[in-house]
Structure 1
Amino acid sequence: MSLSVWFVLTPNVLLLDYAGPAEALRMAAELASEAPDGEGNAAILLHSCAPVARLRTSLGVGLGELEALPARLPPQSLVIVTGNACEVEDYARPEAQTVVDWLRHAPQADTRVASICSGAMLLAAAGLLDGRRCTTHYSLIDALQQAAPSARVEENRLFVEDGPVLTSAGITTGIDLALYLIERHAGAELAARVARRLVVYQRRGGNEPQLSPWLAHRNHLHPAVHRAQDAIAQDPARSWSLAELAGRAHVSGRHLTRLFAEHAGISVVAYQQRLRIARARELLADRQLSVERVADLTGFASARDFRRVWQRYESVAPSAGRAAIAGGRKSAAQPGET
C-alpha cells in the first residue's frame, strides 16, 4: 500500500527541519519507484501543505505552490509537522492556530502524526500528546511539559514513538526519524540505501542518546581514518585485525594506530568495542535473545568477555538493563542540534 506523507508548514519554518526529512523521503520514493514489479508496495507520495499558499522560511527564502491543508486525509496517511525558528512568536500567529485546529479533526483512525523539533508544540496545543510519551528540542523540554501537562516528556531522546504519534528532537534528528519511518513502511534495505545516499555513516535508532556511538569520534576529516571506521561500522562483530583495517585505509598498521589516536581521539580497539556495545544494546531489546546469544552476535568470544566490556560503558549489567532498553525502544531521543 502506498504511503501519503503530508508535511505541514507554518510561516518561518526552520528549513532544515523540513528539507532534511523531506529529502530522505523523496529519495526513498525515488528508489522505491525503481523497484522491480512485485515490489511496489513501498510507494511513497509526498505533499507539502500549509494554511497559506506561500510562506517565508527561517532563511528568508520563500516557499510557494504549497497545497492547502487537506479537508480529509487519505487512508494510511502520515502527517509530519515541522518546527519553526522562533516558536514563541511564530506559533502565536493565526496560521499556526489554523494548523492546530486542523490537527484536532483531520487525523483519521489510521493516520500517524509526527513532529520535528518545535512542531511538537503544535501537537500539544491540539491535544495529541495528552497521556503520551514525547520529546522535542532540548531547549523546549520544559515548555512542552507545560503545554502538555499529562504527557511524559522525555529528555535525551532522538525521537519518541507512542502509538500513532511520533515526536523528534529536531534539526538533523528529523532525518533519523525519516529513516525510521522509511524502514517501517518499506523495509530496512531501502532505509539503508537512503542513508548511504545521504552519506549518513550509520543510522541512529530512536533510543540512541544525543551523541550516538555510531557518530562519535567522526568529527574529523582524515579519509584514511574514515575508511577504517566505515569498515568497522559495517561489520562491528568481525574480528578485524589491524593489518586488515590498515589495508582498507591504505596505510600501514602503525600509521593507522597513530592516525586514529590523533584524529578520532580513541584507539582502534576501543572504537570497535563501543560499536559492539551499541549493537548489543539494540539486540538486548529482543527478549528472545539470551545474553549469551547477544554476545555471540556482536563478536565477543564469550558472555563473560561481553559483560566485562559492557561494564566499561554501562552502569548496569546487561540483564538488568534489558528492561530499560526494551522500554526505550519506542522512544527516541532528545538531542540538541545534532
Structure 2
Amino acid sequence: MNRAAARTIPVWAVVPPRCLLLDLAGPTEVLRRANLEQDELRFDLRYVAARRQLPSSSGLQLAALGALPARLPEDAVVLVSGSVDDVQFAPMPPRRDDEADEARIVDWLRATLRPSHQLLSICSGALLAARAGLLDGRACTTHFGLLDALRSLAPDARVCDNRLFVEDGNCWTSAGVTAGVDLLLHWLSRLAGPACTAAVARQLVIYLRRSGSDPQLSPWLEGRNHIHPAVHRAQDAVAAAPQQDWNLAALARQANTSPRHLSRLFNEHAGMSVPDYVNRLRVSLARELLQSTRLDMERVAERSGFASARQLRRAWARSNAAPPQQARHRD
C-alpha cells in the first residue's frame, strides 16, 4: 500500500470508565479493516482516557491508554464509546473515581471539540456528549434504555426513538452496542465509498443496514446480506468498476464459477438476477453523478456504464417514478 499517497484521518477513541468493550472494539475494527481494504485513506487510531489503565465490561484490562490531548487538529475525529451501569459491571473501580473520570471527559469534550471536528458517539457515549453541551439543538439517539436519561441531560436536543443512528451535521450518534458498527460503516461509506464499505462488512460477516430515516435500501448494499463467497466476488468486481462491460461470462470468471451456476447463485443468494444487480448499481452511480456534478446526460450515462442516455433512462424508469433530471434538484 502506498501510504505516502493516502490521506490520513486522525481518530481519537475516548475510553470511558466501565467501558462496554463491544462499543469500543466494534467501531474501531471497522476502521482497522478499512485501512486494509483501500489505499486512499488511512485512519490513524489513538485510544485516550482519563487514566492510563481501565477495566472493561468483560474484565479485560485496557492498559497504556493515552492522555486526553490538550488540543486536536482541525480534521480530528472523536469517537466516544459507551459504558455499562454498576449492576452489570463486575470489576468496578470505586464509584467516586468513575464520576471524577467522567467529569474529566465531559470537561475535555466541552473545551476541546470545535465545529471542524467530527463527533461519533456510540451507545451511552451520547450521555457524555450531552453533558458537554454538544447535542444541544441537534437530533440524536442512544441505547433504548437511556433515551429518557438523554432527554433529561439534553432538553434542547431532538432525541430520536427507534433509530440505529442519527446524523446531524458533524455530530453522529448511535443506538446501543452493535449499532455503533452500523454508524461507522455508514460514515465510512461517505469517505471511502460503498465498495470499500461492503468489503469491510463482508470481512466482518455482518449485514449492512441503513438509518431508520432512509426509506429505501441503497442499491450498493442491496442483495449483499449473504455469505456466499462466489457471489460476493462478483459483486465486489461490479462495485469496484460499474462502468466495465460486465456480462455474465466476465463475472463468472471473477467468481471462479460457470455462468450458469453464477446465475443460479445470484437468484438464490442475492434475490435478483445478475443483469438486475449490475443495472441497479449503475443507476445508483448515475444518481450520484447527477447530484454531485454538472455533467450532461450522455456523459453521466457513459461514466455509469450505460451505452447511451436513452439506455440510462430506461433502466432508471424501472425503479424510479420521476425522471433522472429531477435528481439534480434534490438536497
Q: 1:209 to 1:275 in 2, by over 3 A?
A: farther
Letter in 2 for 1:50: A
- Asked whether 1:55 is paired with 2:64, we answer no
Q: Is the 8 A contact 1:4 1:46 kept in 2?
A: yes
Q: 1:13 to 1:220 in 2, by over 3 A?
A: same
Give the match's secondary structure for 1:299: coil
Partner in structure 1 of residue 82 of structure 2:
83
Q: 1:18 to 1:283 in 2, by over 3 A?
A: farther
Q: So what's the TM-score if we normalise by structure 2?
A: 0.70
Partner in structure 1 of residue 276 of structure 2:
270
Partner in structure 2 of residue 65 of structure 1:
64
Q: 2: distance between equivalents of 1:217 and 1:51?
A: 43
For residues 88-141 of structure 1, the C-alpha deviation after alignment (integer angstroms, 9 at most, x for no partner) is 999x96244442233222325754433234423432332212234x54468489
Letter in 2 for 1:80: L
Question: Relative contact order (C-alpha < 8 Å, sep 6+): which is higher?
Answer: 1
Give the match's secondary structure for 1:285: helix
Q: 2: distance between equivalents of 1:172 and 1:64?
A: 23
Q: Is the 8 A contact 1:116 1:171 kept in 2?
A: yes
Among candidates 173, 178, 181, match of residue 172 of structure 1: 181
Letter in 1 for 2:63: G
Structure 1 residue 286 displacement after superposition: 0.8
Segment drifting more, 300-309 vs 92-101: 92-101
- The 5 Å alignment of 1:10-49 reads 10-23=16-29, 25=31, 46-49=45-48
- The 5 Å alignment of 1:171-190 reads 171-176=180-185, 179=188, 183=191
For residues 192-217 of structure 1, the C-alpha deviation after alignment (integer angstroms, 9 at most, x for no partner) is 59967984799999997785433332
Structure 1 residue 146 displacement after superposition: 6.8
Q: 2: distance between equivalents of 1:65 and 1:255?
A: 52
Letter in 1 for 2:185: D
Q: 2: distance between equivalents of 1:30 and 1:231?
A: 17
- Asked whether 1:245 is paired with 2:251, we answer yes
State the Cα RMSD in Å. 4.6
Q: 1:43 to 1:293 in 2, by over 3 A?
A: closer
- Asked whether 1:318 is paired with 2:318, we answer no
Q: So what's the TM-score if we normalise by structure 1?
A: 0.69
Partner in structure 2 of residue 106 of structure 1:
112
Q: Name structure 2 gaps, 5 residues minimum.
A: 1-6, 90-94
Q: Is the 8 A contact 1:116 1:136 kept in 2?
A: no
Segment drifting more, 293-302 vs 16-25: 16-25
Q: 2: distance between equivalents of 1:226 and 1:194?
A: 9
Q: 1:65 to 1:103 in 2, by over 3 A?
A: same
Percent of counterpart pairs with the same letter? 43
Letter in 2 for 1:160: E
Structure 1 residue 158 displacement after superposition: 5.9
Q: 1: distance between equivalents of 2:210 and 2:147?
A: 24
Letter in 2 for 1:176: L
Residues matched between the structures, number:
308
Q: Name structure 1 gaps, 5 residues minimum.
A: 328-338
Give the match's secondary structure for 1:228: helix
Partner in structure 1 of residue 92 of structure 2:
none
